[in-house]
């Protein structure tokens, strides 16, 4: 009996001595929190426009038929489940780089690109951020690692780089007056004013969250401003093929910057364009001066990856490899990706038409001018909250909507809800 009481006392005491007793609750992720609030809403007409994942016209998750076929081939091939190399599936990496840079890319042909398979876009950015953080120590430089990001940018960008120990600064991107167009002059001015030799983060296409991209002519001028200051460039490419429906067109900025001789890093994700959200498939590549430099940089990537997650998952990479490596499947995927992009464009047009039909006299041309999965409506935080309260239409507080959440059954309702809070 005495031993039993002593044991209970020690158990209670052990609980009070928990190392985690003073840990505060972290704030909820804005998107995850939005999803939960939406789920708890009893409204029968509620609409969720926050999630960055494609939906079909019935509002359901969509698996591309080409991906179904590729996965079937992979599974029926009876593959093993051994660990991948630290840098992943070599053939997948090769095809991934050709997809972005082009098969005739000089750096690829010259063997001066260091590359690794990574955990989709976020994982690639995290490995990249760590490489940038280590660069001064590796090269004996006294320059502090700094990354300039557009204002606004994807909500996770700054967190990823700050967690890696990289200072984050901003450059102007979205016009603060219109809240729907590119602040082109402000962007150029800030890039010239940035500390020389910094890393500049750019969205290769379909800027998230605004859907506002530079024109080809603007890209060329931006390229020159960056070269003038000797900046390094990090391209985040999550929508190649899905932005315009043309993978070659969506690679314009990447290939331009390669052609013009930039110090370039590229993070690719196959979540959106291949619909492989949960498979975490991506590639990180670094353009180098020559083969020897590429080998040394690759050794540093391995040094970062090994203690971080050891090696990447294999299933999703095998699916992408099957699609990109088979001419018939790739052609099928290209057509299906175009169909997804077309549906997004159609919803943009229907939303703009719906706003006019609802009685709005405002200029909503930015809805159809923007590109990709997301659109910046220009709604204020207060208008977004009012739309949520009165119509149960949910989007992020910055007014960004996921156009993929629109369909023929809800687009008129959403248009009326936007008009009601913006008139």
What is the CB neighbour count within 10 angstroms for residue 80?
A: 6
Please name the residue that has the structure tokens 């809240």.
179
Which helix H or strand E contains 393, and what residues bound it? strand 393-394
Q: From CA 255, how far away is CA 409, in angstroms rounded?
A: 40
The three-point CA angle 322-327-332 to 5° equals 85
Phi, psi angles (nearest 5°) of residue 409: -80, -25
Sequence-distant (6+) residues with CB within 8 A of 58 are 407
Sequence-distant (6+) residues with CB within 8 A of 382 are none
Task: Mark 90-110 as b/e (b = at least 16 C-beta within 10 Å).
Answer: eebbbbbbebbbeeebebbee
Laid out side by side, the sheet with 281-287 consists of 113-119, 281-287, 263-269, 232-237, 199-203, 146-151, 167-172
DSSP 364-385: -HHHHHS-SSEEE----HHHHH
Question: How far apart, in Å, do the first and last CA atoms of the chain sit?
Answer: 75
Tallying the residues shown for the chain, one arrives at: 423
Phi, psi angles (nearest 5°) of residue 237: -120, 100
Q: From CA 304, how far away is CA 308, in angstroms rounded?
A: 6
Enumerate the active-site residues: 154, 236, 272
Tell whether omega for the bond before 152 is within 30 degrees of 0, i.e. cis: yes
Whether residue 174 contacts residue 181, with contact meaning beta carbons closer than 8 Å, is answered with yes
The three-point CA angle 133-122-82 to 5° equals 100
Strands 199-203 and 146-151 turn out to be: parallel
Strands 263-269 and 281-287 turn out to be: antiparallel
């Amino acid at each position: 009996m005495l031993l039993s009481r002593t044991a209970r006392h020690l158990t209670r005491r052990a609980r009070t001595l928990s190392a985690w007793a003073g840990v505060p609750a972290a704030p909820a992720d804005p998107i995850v929190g939005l999803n939960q609030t939406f789920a708890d809403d009893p409204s029968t007409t509620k609409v969720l426009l926050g999630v960055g994942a494609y939906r079909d016209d019935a509002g359901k998750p969509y698996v591309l038929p080409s991906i179904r076929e590729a996965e079937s081939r992979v599974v029926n091939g009876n593959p093993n489940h051994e660990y991948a190399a630290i840098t992943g599936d070599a053939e997948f990496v090769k095809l991934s780089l050709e997809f972005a840079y082009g098969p005739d890319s000089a750096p690829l042909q010259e063997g001066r690109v260091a590359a690794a398979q990574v955990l989709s876009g976020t994982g690639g950015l995290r490995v990249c951020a760590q490489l940038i953080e280590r660069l001064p120590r590796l090269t004996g430089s006294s320059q502090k690692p700094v990354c300039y990001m557009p204002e606004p940018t994807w909500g996770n960008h700054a967190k990823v780089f700050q967690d890696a120990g990289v200072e984050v600064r901003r450059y102007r991107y979205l016009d603060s007056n219109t809240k729907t167009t590119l602040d082109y002059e402000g962007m150029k001015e800030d890039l010239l004013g940035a500390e020389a030799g910094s890393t500049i983060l750019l969205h290769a296409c379909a800027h998230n969250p605004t859907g506002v991209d530079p024109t080809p002519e603007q890209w060329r001028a931006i390229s020159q401003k960056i070269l003038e200051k000797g900046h390094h460039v990090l391209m985040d490419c999550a929508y190649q093929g899905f932005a315009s429906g043309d993978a070659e067109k969506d690679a314009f900025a990447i290939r331009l910057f390669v052609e013009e001789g930039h110090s370039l890093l590229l993070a690719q994700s196959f979540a959106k364009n291949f619909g492989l959200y949960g498979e975490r498939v991506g590639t990180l590549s670094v353009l180098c001066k020559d083969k020897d430099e590429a080998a040394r940089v690759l050794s540093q990537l391995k040094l970062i990856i090994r203690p971080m997650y050891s090696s990447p998952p294999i299933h999703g990479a095998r699916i992408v490899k099957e699609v990109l490596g088979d001419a018939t499947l790739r052609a099928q995927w290209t057509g299906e990706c175009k169909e997804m992009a077309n549906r997004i464009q159609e919803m943009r047009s229907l939303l703009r038409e719906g706003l006019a039909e609802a009685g709005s006299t405002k200029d909503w041309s930015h809805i159809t001018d923007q590109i990709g999965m997301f659109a910046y409506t220009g709604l204020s935080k207060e208008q977004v909250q009012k739309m949520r309260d009165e119509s149960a239409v949910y989007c992020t507080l910055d007014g960004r909507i996921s156009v993929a959440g629109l369909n023929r059954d809800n687009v008129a309702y959403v248009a009326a809800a936007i008009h009601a809070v913006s008139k």
